[in-house]
Amino acid sequence: MSYTDRFLLLDALIGHLDTVVPVLPDPFLRSQHVGFLTVSVVTVFELSIKDIFLEFSRKKNGAFGTYCGNVMEKMNGRISLRDLREVHVPKFGEKYLAKFRKKLEVQEQVFLRSSGFSVKSSYGNVVVWRNSFAHEGVLPVNATYAETCKGYDAGKIVLRCLAESMIR
């Protein structure tokens, strides 16, 4: 399965929620929908990251793929940019980390210049919001439906940078 296949169901869910969440009159219900969406978004990110690393490792060597599969089982939501840059990608070598950093920085600058949109911040926000909702049952005030969707789009960019970096 390609990591991008993970986006299909979530894209459909967001298409449905686009018709529901903005017109919900109850702020509490709206925030609950946003909270559940953050959990879904970060779950898709984590599964996609695992897919990227597993595809890379299996192409290198079957035994290495099996080993990485076992290691990835313990990822448990540790998918912040810091985790990617300091924990996960470095395990595969400095070459891949340098490619990831460069690709991500290029995308960050492109989006900042074109729309004032920070890919890094938006991705990070969704991960933090998910943790807040999943562990405490609350969302920060700035965790809106629109910002969560923006964070999902940012995550797609981060994951594309990661996938493009994890090529021999």
Report the pLDDT value the prediction gives residue 1, as an integer from 0 to 100. 78
Report the pLDDT value the prediction gives residue 65, as an integer from 0 to 100. 82
pLDDT in tens, 96-115: 999 999 999 999 999 999 99
pLDDT in tens, 123-136: 999 999 999 999 99
Going by C-alpha positions, the residue among 81, 77, 102, 95 that lies closest to residue 154 is: 81
Q: Which two tokens stand for residue 140?
A: 């920060």
Axis-axis angle for helices 62-72, 27-60 (nearest 10): 160
| pLDDT (mean) for 35-52 | 96
Report the pLDDT value the prediction gives residue 144, as an integer from 0 to 100. 96
Q: Does residue 41 carry a pLDDT above 90? A: yes
pTM for this predicted structure:
0.94
Q: Does residue 6 carry a pLDDT above 90? A: yes
| Angstrom distance (rounded) from CA 56 to CA 36 | 31
Q: Does residue 60 carry a pLDDT above 90? A: no
